[in-house]
Amino acid sequence: MYQVENAGQALRSRAQLIATRLFAPRVSRTVVMLGLTSLFTDISSEMVSTILPLYLLFHLGLTPVAFGVIDGLYQGSAALVRIFGGAAADRSGRHKEVAVVGYALSAVARLGLLVVGNMWSLLPGVILVDRLGKGIRTGPRDALISLSSPREELGAAFGVHRALDTAGAMMGPLIAFGLLVMAPGRYDAVFVVSLCAALIGLGFLTLFVQNPPIVADVPAERPALSLASAARLVRVPGVAPLLLVGTVLSLVTISDAFVYLTLQRRVAFDPKFLPVLYVATATIFMLTAVPVGRLADRLGRARVFLAGHALLLVVYASLLVPGAGTLRVMLALVLLGVYYAATDGVLMALAGAALPPEMRASGMALLTTGTNLARLAGSILFGVLWTWQGVGVAVALSTAGLAAALLVAVWWLRVR
Amino acid sequence: MSSAPPRDRRRAAFATLVAACVVAGGGYTVWAAHRAKSGPGMSGGGPEAHWEAAAGHALIRPSGPTVMFRNGIAGQDWGEVALVPTAAPTAPRTVVPLRCQRLHFAAGRGLCVAGDPGVFSTYNAYTFGSDFAVTHKVWLTGLPSRSRVSPDGRYGAITVFVAGHSYSDGTFSTKTTLIDLASGAQLGDLEAFAVFRNGQPFKAIDFNFWGVTFTADGDHFYATLLTAGQTYLVEGAIEAREMRVLRPNVECPSLSPDGTRLVFKKRVGGGGRTAPVWWFHVLDLATMTETALAETRSIDDQTEWLDNDHVLYQIGPDVWTVPADGSGEPRRFMRNALSAAVIRSAGSLSPKQTRTLSLPSADLAVTMAAAPNPVRVGQDLTYTVAVSNRGPAAANDLGIDVRLPPAVTFGALGRRSPPTTPHSCYFRDGYISCSLYGLASGESWVVEFTLKPNVAGLIRNRVRVDGTQPDPVPGNDSATVETAVIGPGP
């Protein structure tokens, strides 16, 4: 009995060791703190964004279409601000301070939601401030993660950050709905708690994150805010292919909403379960971000990045095959979640390895902007195809496009 | 403490922050939950309410047309269905215990769209009778947008946004369902109806329908069809389950009580990455001629006919009205009311219990002055608007509007005093609008703005103030100023 128990214990501890290595790798304190910052900030922003349509429509009597147009415009302005945020961080070497400005702007926007109240004409301004804050902080934050991590553990570092970030994004809506169940119609309570979460996130960043020393004393050669510096950025070996691959692959990516809608049409489940698909994908993403990031560090990040897109290709191809089944939906969701784990943080890890420290924030901002704009263009394109040619043609073309882009990407990234 | 190492101090600071946030957030939530349950009224000028038990017998015998709406006055009756005579919109509101987010009612049957947001964001539509008791429940899959009941109370129509959660991709998908209000049965999605255009079958995968308005004959309706980026007016027959396309560029039609005209929103500009611009138009069904209404703001709403000559529509938290023939000018009909439905038919309403929401009266007054007079073309013309509350009660939530005359260019909003009075002012679509959170009895508030006249002549400018509470002296709620404009100087 004693022996068996002992053996079991040994097995358990060995399993624990493997689990610890794969699921909780040693990443720097700064990365964990940045992850916690994102976790609380995402709780805050997702709380607001899930109830915003309800709030605008039912509390303020605003119309969704008008709001949608405004929202689209702001996403464009956020892209510009993102590049500016990255460049400002690189120029000053003060990544943390620039990120603080971005996170603080979003916290101010939460306060704005409370203060604006029934004066609904001021709401677009408040939302703009939030989007600007989000734009500013992305580049410096990702640069901080990469600068605080050893080169060989970048994948794991981004994995930890993305896992925490996604956890926050999943908790936000639950907290918001919980509050509305406790206090029906009291949106102000959601805004207050959201503000609190934003402040705690800001607290993690300001109090526990420091600029890594390599950034603090960068040599005199600080990139100026100019087109020339952007050109120099692209000339850095390994950056241009990354930018091209990231953009082209994003262009042929179908937005999740369309994937879910296609699944829903294939399997014909009640549309009210659509949110469950989002939650399922996010859960898989959260659970696999760290191990897949770690795997990327071991096997090669480009390989894992492309393998992730290969999984996506499987998802698209499965959408083309007729026939239905819950199992297929579940498989598609798992693959989609792993795809995110293998691409989202891993792309930034690739960029972190390729970009010199003094150009990292602006380079990462440029890469994020490129992929985001390409994804937006791709989803508009897909929507048009869907409308004109029907869902079958649209998915088939996207699948073919993704396959072709993947082949080109293998060649560009020289993956053997 | 000052000698504590920075790390400890940071930890202490963080602990303080978290503690403060938890206390503030938790405390606020508890308070909000308390307010949601017991709902103390607003301070000063708050509503006084009491339930009147009225088991079984007709309590409300409308002497004339009545407007039913979702009450927007803060307090315990917020969000409940309320009624006032159309002739006296600031009269005490009769509140019935039914909470709806959108509602419509005709001939003894109503549709109430409600639902507490949950993880699945489910909304339900409830059918109810003249006793306001729920008779049936209809599950909705999407964010509900509009609801209408046929004049005979037989049918209901509900539109939901199916893919309306992500507005940023610019596209949206709607689903409109017809409901038999007597049985609660769903008569199907309008997308299942056959559509004909110029006598030929017309079909595309991207059909979207919304904005149903029923005729009085118990079988026909009008609605909006969107396909390939173009909206159309369709006329449908419920028994035959078919529709035919009548004309393009008609959204959210609303049929007049006499059945001769439709008021609808016509797209006159915008699109792409800019907000669409709609203007209300009236369509004479006999001659098929369109006339623009006097409301020049772009409004995304399906109008409700107040009578055969006026329509009601929503701007922010308020209901506005404008003549339905292109004459006159828009005017606030009532403040803090949503989803107004006009009950025309005789017949009594017999809710099991009601509350009366009567607000204390406050005499609002407004004056306006302009300088210089005369003014030259292109010169700044400064207006000073002074709003005062002559009591007796404090006034909550006032709206001030100036509709700019043609041939002037808006300059800027100027000084506001006292600046500490919470307010918001903006200029949009030819209107300068201000909201004031509250004004104590005897208190005044002043706002200035400038215009530039473009042509010589006479400028007539009018300002109006509207409150939620009854106003014993309505004569001083608006002021008009005339200014002579002379040609540009030498």
User: Which residues of chain B neighbour A134 with C-beta distances below 8 Å?
Assistant: none
A4 pLDDT tier (thresholds 50, 70, 90): very low
Whether B369 is in a domain gets the answer yes
Pick the residue from chain B with its C-alpha nearest to A56: B316
Average pLDDT over residues A117-146: 83
Whether the ω angle into residue B418 lies within 30 degrees of 0, i.e. cis, is yes
Q: What is the pLDDT of residues B143-199, one digit of tens each?
A: 777 889 999 999 999 988 765 433 333 456 778 889 999 898 888 889 889 999 999
Whether B148 is in a domain gets the answer yes
Instruction: Tell me the range of A47-61, A108-122, A300-314 where mean pLDDT is highest.
Output: A300-314
Give the pLDDT confidence score for residue B383 in this predicted structure.
Answer: 95
Q: Nearest by CB to A186, which of B24, B36, B121? A: B36
- One domain for residues B72 and B218: yes
Neighbours of B239 (CB within 10 A): 8
Query: Long-range contact list for B58-64, CB < 8 A, 24+ apart?
Result: B58/B348, B58/B349, B58/B350, B59/B349, B59/B350, B59/B351, B59/B354, B60/B94, B60/B348, B60/B349, B60/B350, B60/B351, B60/B354, B61/B348, B62/B343, B62/B346, B62/B348, B62/B349
Q: Residue B479 is which amino acid? A: A
Q: Residue A164 is which amino acid? A: L
Average pLDDT over residues A261-288: 80
- One domain for residues B312 and B366: no
B249 pLDDT tier (thresholds 50, 70, 90): very high
Structure tokens belonging to residue A413:
């990234």
A326 vs B: CB within 8 A: no
CATH of the domain at B453: 2.60.40.1530
- Judge whether B356 and B50 are in contact, CB under 8 Å: yes
The sheet carrying B134-140 orders its strands as B102-106, B109-114, B123-129, B134-140
Q: What is the pLDDT of residues B60-80, one digit of tens each?
A: 555 678 999 999 887 778 888
Q: Nearest by CB to A383, which of B25, B118, B171? A: B171
User: Which residues of chain B neighbour A177 with C-beta distances below 8 Å?
Assistant: 117-119
- One domain for residues B84 and B207: yes
Q: Where in chain A is the domain with CATH 1.20.1250.20?
A: 28-211, 226-416
Q: In the predicted model, is pLDDT for residue B435 greater than 90? A: no
Please judge whether B119 and A174 are an interchain contact, meaning their C-beta atoms are less than 8 angstroms apart.
yes
Q: How far is A163 from chain B (nearest CA, A)?
A: 22
Which domain covers residue B209, as residue numbers? 51-357
Whether B474 is in a domain gets the answer yes
Please judge whether A193 and B28 are an interchain contact, meaning their C-beta atoms are less than 8 angstroms apart.
yes
- One domain for residues B430 and B481: yes
Q: Give the range among A183-197, A205-219, B476-490 with minimum mean pLDDT.
A: A205-219
Please judge whether B25 and A196 are an interchain contact, meaning their C-beta atoms are less than 8 angstroms apart.
yes
- Rounded Cα distance between B281 and B262, Å, is 8
Instruction: State the first-to-last Cα distance of chain B, in angstroms, to the nearest integer.
Output: 75
Whether B37 is in a domain gets the answer no
A364 pLDDT tier (thresholds 50, 70, 90): very high
User: Which residues of chain B neighbour A208 with C-beta distances below 8 Å?
Assistant: 10, 14
Cα B127 to Cα A287, B139, B151, B186: the distances in Å are: 45, 12, 15, 12
- One domain for residues B113 and B234: yes
* Final residue belonging to a domain, choices B322, B341, B357: B357
Mean per-residue pLDDT over chain B, rounded: 84
A173 vs B: CB within 8 A: yes
* Final residue belonging to a domain, choices B310, B327, B357: B357
Give the pLDDT confidence score for residue B271 in this predicted structure.
Answer: 65
Of the candidates A172, A248, A199, which has an alpha carbon nearest to the alpha carbon of residue A412? A248
Whether B20 is in a domain gets the answer no
What's the angle, vertex CA B157, arms to CA B156 and CA B158, rounded to 5?
Answer: 125
Please judge whether A207 and B13 are an interchain contact, meaning their C-beta atoms are less than 8 angstroms apart.
yes
B24 vs A: CB within 8 A: yes
Please judge whether B28 and A192 are an interchain contact, meaning their C-beta atoms are less than 8 angstroms apart.
yes
- Rounded Cα distance between B121 and B98, Å, is 20
Give the pLDDT confidence score for residue B53 in this predicted structure.
Answer: 46
Residue A38, phi-psi category: left (phi > 0), alpha (psi -120 to 50), beta (remainder): alpha
Give the pLDDT confidence score for residue A163 in this predicted structure.
Answer: 95
Among A111, A120, A130, A186, most B C-beta atoms within 10 A, so best to mutate, is A186
- Rounded Cα distance between A262 and A322, Å, is 11
A122 vs B: CB within 8 A: yes
Q: In the predicted model, is pLDDT for residue A213 greater than 70? A: yes
- Rounded Cα distance between A358 and A54, Å, is 44
Give the pLDDT confidence score for residue B122 in this predicted structure.
Answer: 62
Distance of CA B314 to the CA centre of its chain: 2
- One domain for residues B63 and B198: yes
DSSP state of B56: S
CATH of the domain at B234: 2.120.10.30
Pick the residue from chain B with its C-alpha nearest to A271: B141
Whether B34 is in a domain gets the answer no
Please judge whether B275 and A70 are an interchain contact, meaning their C-beta atoms are less than 8 angstroms apart.
yes
Pick the residue from chain B with its C-alpha nearest to A51: B117
- Rounded Cα distance between A307 and B196, Å, is 50
User: Which residues of chain B neighbour A65 with C-beta distances below 8 Å?
Assistant: 167, 172, 276, 300
Average pLDDT over residues B415-430: 83
Give the pLDDT confidence score for residue A144 in this predicted structure.
Answer: 94
B301 vs A: CB within 8 A: yes
Q: Nearest by CB to B117, which of A67, A180, A380? A: A180
Please judge whether B17 and A184 are an interchain contact, meaning their C-beta atoms are less than 8 angstroms apart.
no
Please judge whether B167 and A186 are an interchain contact, meaning their C-beta atoms are less than 8 angstroms apart.
no
Q: Does residue B251 sit in helix, strand or coil?
A: strand
Whether B232 is in a domain gets the answer yes
- One domain for residues B388 and B351: no
Pick the residue from chain B with its C-alpha nearest to A210: B7
Q: How far is B205 from chain A (nearest CA, A)?
A: 7
B317 vs A: CB within 8 A: yes
Residues 102-121 of A with CB under 8 A from B: 116, 118-121
> Domain count of chain B?
2
Q: In the predicted model, is pLDDT for residue B38 greater than 80? A: no
Give the pLDDT confidence score for residue B16 in this predicted structure.
Answer: 92
Give the pLDDT confidence score for residue A49 in this predicted structure.
Answer: 79
B121 vs A: CB within 8 A: yes
Q: In the predicted model, is pLDDT for residue A202 greater than 50? A: yes
A377 vs B: CB within 8 A: no
Please judge whether B117 and A208 are an interchain contact, meaning their C-beta atoms are less than 8 angstroms apart.
no
A203 vs B: CB within 8 A: yes
- One domain for residues B151 and B290: yes
Q: In the predicted model, is pLDDT for residue B58 greater than 70? A: no
* Final residue belonging to a domain, choices B309, B340, B357: B357
pTM over 0.80: no
Pick the residue from chain A with its C-alpha nearest to B103: A58
Pick the residue from chain B with its C-alpha nearest to A190: B29
- One domain for residues B266 and B213: yes
Give the pLDDT confidence score for residue B171 in this predicted structure.
Answer: 52
Please judge whether B28 and A179 are an interchain contact, meaning their C-beta atoms are less than 8 angstroms apart.
no
Please name the fold of domain A28-211.
Answer: Growth Hormone; Chain: A; (1.20.1250)
- One domain for residues B375 and B312: no
More confident residue, A73 or A220: A73
Pick the residue from chain B with its C-alpha nearest to A382: B169
User: Which residues of chain B neighbour A183 with C-beta distances below 8 Å?
Assistant: 29, 32-33, 35-36
- Rounded Cα distance between B11 and A407, Å, is 51
Handedness of CA B449, B454, B456, B457 (dihedral sign): negative
Among B23, B35, B120, most A C-beta atoms within 10 A, so best to mutate, is B120
Average pLDDT over residues A244-273: 80
A9 vs B: CB within 8 A: no
Whether B211 is in a domain gets the answer yes
- Judge whether B130 and B108 are in contact, CB under 8 Å: yes
- One domain for residues B425 and B307: no
Give the pLDDT confidence score for residue B117 in this predicted structure.
Answer: 53
- One domain for residues B155 and B202: yes
Residues 235-274 of B with CB under 8 A from A: 273-274
Pick the residue from chain A with its C-alpha nearest to B169: A380
What kind of architecture, by CATH, is found in domain A226-416? Up-down Bundle (1.20)
User: Which residues of chain A neighbour B319 with C-beta distances below 8 Å?
Assistant: none
Q: What is the pLDDT of residues B287-297, one digit of tens each?
A: 999 999 999 88
